[in-house]
Amino acid sequence: MIQTLSIRPSKDLRTHYAAISAETKKNPVAITVNGREDTVILDHSQFMEQQLYIQDLESRLAVYTHLAQAADDVRLGRIQLAEEAFADIVNELKEHRA
């Protein structure tokens, strides 16, 4: 996803902000403090794209987790005929209404 990472000293934020901002349109910029990477600056659209990608991955993981649980239930014989399951649901609903 990230191809290159530019590295700039923190003092450049004060003196060359416009250039750093323009650079983030091409790739993220790592800001260093005392020679060590401290902060990464992303273009807003790149940040939002990453957030959507993470949300998509989390949603997929939730689905895969449910599918794995369902597969385990089948493998372990924890199954029920659909007619029986629906009858149980209808009975529970009737009990809650009463």
Tell whether 37 and 56 lie within a shared domain: no
pLDDT in the model for residue 37: 93
Please tell me the distance from the alpha carbon of residue 94 to that of residue 85, in angstroms, as a whole number. Answer: 14
pLDDT in the model for residue 22: 95
**Amino acid identity at 46:** Q
Query: Residue 91: which domain range?
Result: 46-97
Count of domains observed in the chain:
2
pLDDT in the model for residue 68: 98
Tell whether 69 and 53 lie within a shared domain: yes
pLDDT in the model for residue 4: 86
Tell whether 72 and 31 lie within a shared domain: no
Give the list of residues 6+ apart from residue 20 with CB closer than 8 angstroms, or none. 8, 12, 13, 29, 41
Residues lower than pLDDT 70 in the chain: 1-3
Tell whether 65 and 27 lie within a shared domain: no
Tell whether 75 and 89 lie within a shared domain: yes
